[in-house]
Structure 1
Amino acid sequence: MMANLFSSFDPSTNFNLSLNWMSSLIGLFIIPPMFWLIPSRLSMIWNKIIMTLHKEFKILIGFNNTQGSTLLFISLFSIILFNNFLGLFPYIFTSTSHMVMTLTLALPLWLSFMIFGWINNTIHMFAHLVPQGTPPILMPFMVCIETISNIIRPGTLAIRLSANMIAGHLLMTLLGSTGPSLTFIMIYLLLITQILLLILESAVAIIQSYVFTVLSTLYSSEVN
């Protein structure tokens, strides 16, 4: 029984178990092992998606710095996409709606980029703090602004993903809770609205995983 609207985002709401965090790995278990061995239409579509992402990430990172880098970002895209889609099923905990999960993905990436950049490309990192063409009088302010915008990057990545996942789920929960008090005609309209919202949430699940990965790719290209 949910105590309030936000209880659906509490890991201990369903069955009073912390095992709801297992939903972040359940996507790997529901894929049959034969998917990787026997070619099928589904595996061909997934391979096509992976190759498209590989080509796009290779352009964003740079052709000279792609030694296995795209595999990291494709894996990141896959795990976020699986978790976003699993959150659309009933009684499955949406792990990507929690800052614990999104910050765990964003913070190590950003920190590793910063450490790599400041150790290997120190002059290049200093040059990024002052955009080209900045008047000398504005340089101290631009350094402060660029430093702050750089520091908040993992937070903005994490908040963007979790907020978008929370917003759609909350809207569907709010509309669904009005069902018992509606007439038959309004219930039909509500069902149509919920189906349209579910389609929208499916699109949001793909878009947000893509945006998270592309922004991480762009941040990594800045330190090279």
Structure 2
Amino acid sequence: MNKSKREAIFKRFQEANPDPTTELHYGNRFQLLIAVILSAQATDRSVNQATAALFRQVRTPQAMLELGEAGLKRHIRTIGLYNSKASNIIATCRILAERHGGRVPGEREALEALPGVGRKTANVILNTAFGEPTIAVDTHIFRVANRTGIAPGKTVLQVEKKLLKVVPEPYLRNAHHWLILHGRYTCTARRPRCPGCLIHDLCEYRHKSEPVERP
């Protein structure tokens, strides 16, 4: 895919959705961190359902420590891997309270040192909470980048590095959200909704179906 096509793709994404953001519900950076940790191998909807009551009660690492692991599990038991996630969250809250003054750090190294936080989670926090032009490559972004031809790669890290290189700079900050939403609702895994796709004529997917003709 050439530079002009990528430029046109992201321009359309921007025109259709000028201010994209995560679909996770949160009230501050700490709650966002917890929601992202919980979202691993889970849907945003299931996380939002589980955190609705939790976040009314817990807004800080100290409040989470006071709730305790058993109390946290009662809130998140509908989410997959909730036992290990609860353990990681309590350990993370302890580190935030003891080493970071109860605040979520804005540095990658400090974020990735937190239990339950890997590169993808760190990228989400850096992008959504701190406005950095990072791209957290999940299954949706990996699929869209490869299928459309925007940034093909064999591994998540390859796709991330290529996206950071080829996405036009004015669109980098929001590219993460546009690509996730496109993969979640249009360029879906089993049956991509090509006929109504915003970038149908720019996409290089060989097996795409024809667009819907409009009068």
TM tier relative to shorter chain: under 0.3
Structure with max Cα Rg: 1
**Greater RCO, 1 or 2 (C-alpha within 8 Å, sep 6+):** 1
Higher helix share: 1
The two structures have a TM-score, normalised by structure 2, of 0.26
Q: Compute the TM-score of the two structures, normalised by the length of structure 1.
A: 0.25
